[in-house]
Amino acid sequence: MRDCANGELRDQLPDWVHGRLDAARAEVVAQHVAACADCADEVALLRDLGTTLRAGAPQVDVARIVAALPKPPARGRATLRWYQRTQWRAAAAVVLMVGASSIALLDRGAPDAPKAAMEFAGGVSDLSEGDLQSLLKDLEKMDATPQSEPDGAQGVSAELGPVAP
């Protein structure tokens, strides 16, 4: 039994026998096999070998294998991971909104607002009447801040002015 000189085509004979080539390539191989005795012999050999090898395989008990398999992860409903379920998504959205709002509020104050607030809390008795009135006005402005975000937090800080005197 001889080998065809067309090595590339001979290499594809098993793919052709198993129907794994696209239509165009399969047609090329089919035409070649029809005209090439060596490839026709090899195709016949491949088919005989395939039949022989498949016939010699041990029998398997499908039912026994299936009985040993683990149960499906979810019965009767789509398998969603925990983070894909609606209630978890809603909870995550609330947490994100609260977190984002807190960050936005901190950003609206001066960058050193926490420090200033601490200083203020430590010395409130030292404030004059004028200082207190000014602080109350600033707080009223903060309460009136609209929910929609301006273009930049820096503009809001400039509008509000310093939190501490």
Partner 1 sequence: MAPADPRDDPALDAALIARWLDGDERAASELVARHAPAVARFVSSLGLRVDVDEVVQDAFVRAFGALDTFRADAALRTWLFTIARRLVLDRRRSERRRGTEVEVQEDDAATPDDPLSSLVAQEMQDRLKAAVERLTPMQREVFTLRVSEGMGYKEIADVLGSTEGAARVHYHHAMRSVKEFLDA
The 9-48 contact track toward partner 1, x by CB under 8 A, reads --x--xxxxxxxx-x--xx--x-----------x--xx-x
Q: How many CB atoms lie within 10 A of CB 141?
A: 13
State which residue, 31 or 133, has the beta carbon closest to partner 1.
31
Give the integer Cα–Cα distance in Å for 32 and 106. 77
State which residue, 73 or 122, has the beta carbon closest to partner 1.
73
Which residues in 49-108 contact partner 1 (CB under 8 A)?
Answer: 49-66, 68-79
**Left (φ > 0), alpha (ψ -120 to 50) or beta: where does 164 sit?**
beta
State which residue, 20 or 115, has the beta carbon closest to partner 1.
20
State which residue, 21 or 135, has the beta carbon closest to partner 1.
21
Give the integer Cα–Cα distance in Å for 44 and 35. 14
**Total binding residues toward partner 1, as defined by CB under 8 A:** 49
Question: How far, in whole angstroms, is CA 160 from its chain's centroid?
Answer: 41
CB of 86 to partner 1, least distance (A): 18
CB neighbour list of residue 16: distance below 8 Å, 6 or more residues apart: 26, 29, 30, 33, 43
Give the integer Cα–Cα distance in Å for 46 and 52. 10
| Chain residues that interact with partner 1, rule: CB under 8 A | 1, 3, 11, 14-21, 23, 26-27, 30, 42, 45-46, 48-66, 68-79
